[in-house]
Each structure stands twice: as C-alpha cells, then as structure tokens.
Chain A
Amino acid sequence: MRTKKTRLRGAVAVLLALALTLGVAACGSSDDDSGSTEASEGGGGAIVANPDNAKVNLTIGSKNFPEQEILGEIYAQALGAAGYKVKSDLNLGSETVALQSVKSGAISGYPEYASTALTSFFGLEPEEVPADANEAQEKANEEFEKEGLTAFPPTPFASANAVGTLKKTAEKYGLETISDLEGVSEKLSLYGSPECRQRIDCLAGLEQLYGLEFKSFHPVDIGLRYTVLEKGQADLSILFTTDPQLSAEKDKFVILEDDKEVFPSGNVIFVTKQSTAQKAGPDYEKTIVQVQEGLTLPVMQELDARVELEKQTPKEAAAAYLKSAGYTG
C-alpha cells in the first residue's frame, strides 16, 4: 500500500513538472535565443517562495566528492529559494555514513545514485540493476520504504564508475574494453578510492565478475584519481563517467568500455525520510524535481568542470546553474 502512495506522489510530481515546463514553453515567448547565457524570461520556471515553508528546517547533506557537493548545493539553494530554512552539511563521507545521517535525523536528505543504493545498500548484483532510471528508482523505493525512507524521481543524467587510463597506455596494450585487460592486468597497477576495495561496482567486481587480477591496488583519495595517472604512478585508475577531464582532456585520458556491465550507471535520486517529506509539504519534492530537470549529462559535466577544473566552489557553480536556468532570479 505504501508503494502505491509513493507511486501516486511520484506521478503527481511528474505531472506537476510537466505542467510547469509546458507553462514555461507556452509563456516563454523568446525561446529561440539559443545563444543566451542570461536567465531566460523566468515565467513558470522560477522557484516561488512559499511563506508556509518558513516553518520547516531542512539540512541537506552530500557525499564526499565534488559532483555530490554540487548537487547538494543546488538542492539546498533551490529549497532556500522555495522559502525553507535550509542548512547544508555537505561532504559527509561515503554512502554508508550519508545513509546513517539520514536515518539518525542529522540531515534531512542527500542525493544518492540509484545504482549505488541498489548494490551497496540492498546487495543487488550489478546485472540486477535496471537500466531504466525510473525502474531503478522504484526498485530502490521498494527497499527504502521498509525503513521509512523514500527516494524522489531521478535526474536526467547518470554516472558510473569506469576504469580509466592514459591514452598511450591504452594504445600500448590495445585496450578498448575492460575484458581486453585479461592477461594484461597482472602487469598493471590500479588506483582507486579506499572504499573501492570492497565495492562490487569497483575492485571487488573487477576481481569477481571480470576475473581480473592486478599487479597491485593502491587506495588514494578520490581527488587524486587523475594525478596518479598523469604522474605515471598508476597504470589504471577508477574514474567517473561524468568527469570533466574526460571531455576537456580527451587527448590524454580514456575509459575502457564496461562490456560485462559490472559498473551500472545510476541516475541521482534524492533520499529522505518519509516523515520529513510529509512535514515539509509538497514543495519539498516539487522543488527538487523541478530543479533537477536541467541536469542533463552535458550540464552536469559543465558543473563538474567548473568545480574540479576551474576550482570554483560548489556553491558558486550551483548558483550559476540555478540562475542560468531561470530557477532563481
């Protein structure tokens, strides 16, 4: 029965979002100005502050890498614009820490990847992760609901782990897919985040599902994943498909194709307690869904580029996105 309620809510949210966008399309007369960097003539796109929300305190969290912090900031600023009293507590740690923070009430919610939730929290095998974003969200919700949590609809973009290397290394060993590493991986060192050793969508998966053995695995901070490749320490490194370096420096870095689909890609779903969502009112989910809409893959990569390459703060990048998309004034 609870599933129906969330499905209904989800459907309502989607309808609302559609209505809003139709409104924007209808009202926004100047929608042919493809070259504009300024906010479009807002219209139905802007977030409206609802005075009722001022009574609600929300704390938005995030995991410990830039893409997560950007998302956290976007949600936090958007909810603030909607009239909520928002605090942010970004950079909490890995997914286990973040989930615990939601359960304990330390934060109201945080953005999670559907694939991570399914494999890490609920123990699904990578091939059981649905490729369709909405299906993945529903499957995650089935489990989340058992613990009084819920996940909002997914973002347009998806991200996945990937095995990356320098272009010349790939050319040297003739590597195009991860399976090509068979017979070669014993000579190569792999660098990844400390959690990578245990995760099925990381080293554990490479070892168990691809049957690969590496010369060595070195855990390093996520922030160093490209440095170790550049400095020649790492032959292979675990990267993310949304990394800005992959498009900005595509002559240097390549990722190997995940032919056995061990690295499921996940869209981002906002995880929160059902009770929080109820207390916060309909604007909670509505705002989040609304503001996510513009997060297509190129846009997310752009945001990542601004923070990781150009060293802007997540706050600045989020603010620029919200303004540019017309959500805030």
Chain B
Amino acid sequence: MSTLPLPHPVLASLEGAIEFIFTPQSSNVTGGKKVGGIDQVVELTLNQIELSLLALLLSLLVALPIGLYLGHRGIGELFATAIANAGRAVPELALIAFMATAIGVGVLNLTIALAVLGVPPILANTFVGINQVDRASVEAARGIGMTEFEILRKVEIPLAIPTIFTGIRGASIAIVATATIAPLAGVLTLGDFIINQNVYGDSGVLAGAIMVSLLALVFEFSLAGVQHLLTSKGLKLRSA
C-alpha cells in the first residue's frame, strides 16, 4: 500500500491508460483479438451518449409536465419531496439488475430503467422552481389578463429556469453514472472497460474510468451552457 502521493507508478498507469485509448492492445485473454484502441472507445462512447440522451429525453417528457402542473397549482409539495428522496435512495445496481431480470436486457428496457432514476430530480426541482416563483409576480400577471398557460410560459418558467436546470443536471449525472454499468444488462457502454478487468487489464479499467468522467463532465457543461442560453438577462445579473 503506497503512502506517497503521486509517485511514478501513478504516472505510469496514466500512460498505460492513454495508450489504451488510442491504440489497440493485446488482451490478457489470449486468442489474438486486440482490445481497446480509438475505434472501440468511440463506439462505446457513442453508445453511452445515445443511451443517456434517450433516457434523459424520456425523463423530461414524463417529469416536466407533471412538475409544471403541480408547481403552478401549488399542490403536492409533500409528494414532490417524497419523490425526490425516494429517487435518491434507489441503488442503481439493484435497479438495473431488477429490470434486466423482470423485463429483459437491451437498449429499450435499459432506457426505461434509467428514466426511473432521471424523473425524480426533474419532477421535484421543477415543482419547487415553479412553486417558489414570487406570488406577487404571478398575481400581477393574472391581473393584466394573462391566461394560466401564458403565466406559466412567460412568468413562472423563465424565473424557475435555474432550479429546473439543477434538477435536469442532477438527472443527467444519475443517468450517465448508471449508463456506465449498462454492460451488466447487455448494452455496451464505456463501463465495459471498467467492469471486465479480465479482458481489458488495468490500463483498460483506468482508460474507461477516465473516458466516463470526461463524458460526464461534457454532459454537465453542455447542460450548463444550455441553461445559460435559456436564462433571461435579468436573472443572470443577480445569479449567485
């Protein structure tokens, strides 16, 4: 057990991992076929992106309408809190395993499983965001004759964007993280490198970990960018 931080072995592992990402290596398991290399890395990355985006989309489709409705009407606060906590408490490994056993493996089934994890944060945060919009603004808007729907669209949503996006980003983190262990249910993503150390070796595992982290960060920054675009100037000025 090394007690020195960052000695040469760490840099060596890093080097090995980077090599793994770019050039095919011979596998620990003999048989001639090489593993790793940029082609395989790109393929698995694209798989993971596809799976995550599908799941995120599904979560948005389900959670946004419900959250917007409940938040606007101001009912179901306990429900929103409970859902948020429940979503956090579900262990992703158990969820995937259960889905695989109950409804089977494959992209479609996995998307549903991932959406189960993505809905709670989006739902809860959308509810809170809309619900906590200053009542005075809402009343004013009602006063000048806006329809309920217009109030939602022009007043509440713009003001709630930061909170809603906190939820979407939270969902994205959970979804990308769980998509990493999708290989356990037969969908090949970057997690394959991490889970199957037999085949890919230690450099493969580290390479997988690095790629997954980068992917998660890319998702996070992209969503942050979208949020920035959608946030009205006024809000941006006073954001913390």
Contacts and interface: CB of A to CB of B under 8 A. Distances in A.
Contacts of B30: 120-121, 123, 198-200
Contacts of B197: 93, 97
A157 to B, nearest CB: 24
A219 B31 CA distance: 16
Contact of A219 (B100, B101, B103, B188): B188
Contacts of A97: 28, 197-198
B133 interface: no
Interface in B184-225: 184-186, 188, 192, 195-199
Given A224-B100, A227-B100, A233-B186, A198 B105 contact: no
B104 interface: yes
Contacts of B27: 198
Contact of A197 (B100, B104, B183, B199): B199
B100 A96 contact: no
Contacts of A20: none
B8 interface: no
A199 B100 contact: no
A218 B198 contact: no
A220 B192 CA distance: 10
Contacts, number: 80
A220 B105 contact: yes
Contacts of B199: 94, 194-195, 197-198
Interface residues of B, number: 25
Contacts of A84: none
A319 B100 CA distance: 33
Contacts of B103: 231
B204 to A, nearest CB: 11
B29 A120 contact: yes
A220 B187 CA distance: 9
Contacts of B35: 198
Contact of A204 (B31, B104, B186, B195): B31
A251 interface: no
Contacts of A121: 30
B106 interface: yes
B29 A195 contact: yes
Given A93-B197, A224-B100, A224-B105, A199 B186 contact: no
Interface in A192-232: 194-195, 197-200, 202, 204, 218-221, 224, 227-228, 231-232
20 contacts: A121-B30, A123-B30, A194-B183, A194-B195, A195-B29, A195-B196, A197-B199, A198-B32, A204-B31, A218-B186, A218-B188, A221-B184, A224-B100, A224-B105, A224-B186, A227-B100, A227-B101, A232-B104, A233-B104, A233-B106
Given A199-B29, A220-B183, 8 more contacts: A94-B28, A194-B199, A198-B32, A198-B35, A199-B30, A219-B183, A233-B105, A233-B106
The 10 closest A-B pairs by CB, nearest first: A198-B31, A231-B104, A94-B198, A194-B196, A198-B29, A96-B28, A204-B31, A195-B29, A198-B33, A199-B31
Interface of A: 93-97, 120-121, 123, 191, 194-195, 197-200, 202, 204, 218-221, 224, 227-228, 231-233
